[in-house]
A = this chain, B = another copy of it.
Amino acid sequence: MIYFTSDYTAGTHPEILERLQATNLLHTAGYGSDPYTRNAATLIRQACGLDEDVAVHFLVGGTQTNATVIDGLLARHEGVIAAESGHIAVHESGAIEASGHKVLTLPHHDGKLRAEEVEHYIDEFYRDETYEHMVAPGMVYISFPTEFGTIYSLEELESLSKVCHSHSIPLYIDGARLAYGLAAEGCDVTIKDIARLADVFYIGGTKAGTLFGEAVVVPNRSLLPHFFPLIKQHGALLAKGRLLGVQFEALFTNDLFGRIGRHAVELATRLRSAMVSRGYRIAVESPTNQQFFILPNEVVDRLSKEVSMEYWGPRGECESTVRFVTSWATTAEDVEQLIELL
């Protein structure tokens, strides 16, 4: 069986595992107040071109990170604007609402929000005389790349950032798959752009080669002032916090983060070319490690015997949309083997 189901089906990248082994028997203080975590924060700030006093927090998983950050950013009367396809709007078991906040959804365009639609929404909101009876837009959430594998251009990000700041609300970027977005073909956005345009963002570890872990970066320094107890309230505080530090140290050493992203995207691109050359239709034009194809059900059934992948939506009558995901753990052989089976 070869695996294209997701980018979190294997353990951790060997360079990270090696560091975990090497540090395993050392004793450190808990909850992130250890030298590995401090160093990981420094490496991340450097990669992002950020000052020393910018906060970097390490949490365990993506849903929990979104719930904690959003809860920290919003006042009680505010909600979070997101695309109707956004992870927080669909796939977090109601964690955002469980913290008391409404997700204010706007239509998506291949998973993306449009700056002008966000602006229109906010403007219309405050134009309504009864707006205090409704949930105020208190921040904007986007994912980069999106749930469809698509990415924002630098211009699009700048527009969104501008809209947010002209309305005094923060822009938060969910970077669960940031590694793959930055490595995407045609991507004109760097991690420094992300750090410049977002008020808060997170660098995903779980889907980019760590066992677990997400690094929350807060370029807009006054935000999230008492974040530690919120992390704990949201179940996101790891007792052996140095495990997060050790992993992110490795991820930001010798550009492992970049190498992982490029590796996966390269294999995804190879797969897409093969699909196209065989005449299969692309469901969403994604330049990242998630690829969506519309395949005849007979092909899906044939592949299923040797390939693990995921239906994207319900199985159709004759054909179905299927998602293939590559990661650090995918090999060139895996992809060639899959291509042969097409």
Contacts and interface: CB of A to CB of B under 8 A. Distances in A.
A112 interface: no
Contacts of A23: 11
A278 interface: no
B10 A29 contact: no
Contact of A95 (B75, B94, B103, B232): B232
A186 B102 CA distance: 37
A127 interface: yes
A86 to B, nearest CB: 13
Contacts of A24: 10-12, 14, 17
Interface string A1-25: 1010110111110100100110111
Contact of A27 (B62, B63, B130, B329): B329
Interface stretch (A162-170, A223-231, A297-305, A316-324): A223-231
Contacts of A238: 60-61, 212
Nearest to A94: B135
Contact of A235 (B6, B27, B206, B234): B234
A132 B102 contact: no
Given A93-B133, A134-B93, A226-B75, A235 B232 contact: no
A243 B211 contact: yes
Contacts of A67: 233, 235
Contacts of A68: 235
Interface string A71-112: 110011101000000000011111101111111000000000
A310 to B, nearest CB: 9
How many copies altogether?
A: 4
A308 interface: yes
A26 B8 contact: no
A233 B27 contact: no
Nearest to A87: B133
A30 interface: yes
A8 B236 contact: no
Nearest to A14: B24
A101 B94 contact: yes
A130 B130 CA distance: 38
A174 to B, nearest CB: 14
Contacts of A11: 20, 23-26, 240, 243
A30 B228 CA distance: 28
A314 interface: yes
A329 B240 CA distance: 14
User: What 10 A-B pairs are tightest by C-beta distance, nearest first?
Assistant: A64-B235, A11-B24, A235-B235, A77-B229, A93-B232, A3-B27, A93-B229, A9-B27, A94-B135, A97-B102
13 contacts: A11-B240, A12-B24, A17-B20, A63-B237, A68-B235, A72-B76, A76-B226, A76-B230, A90-B134, A91-B130, A93-B132, A133-B232, A212-B243
Interface of A: 1, 3, 5-6, 8-12, 14, 17, 20-21, 23-30, 60-64, 67-68, 71-72, 75-77, 79, 90-95, 97-103, 124, 127-128, 130, 132-136, 206-207, 211-212, 226, 228-230, 232-240, 243, 308, 314, 329
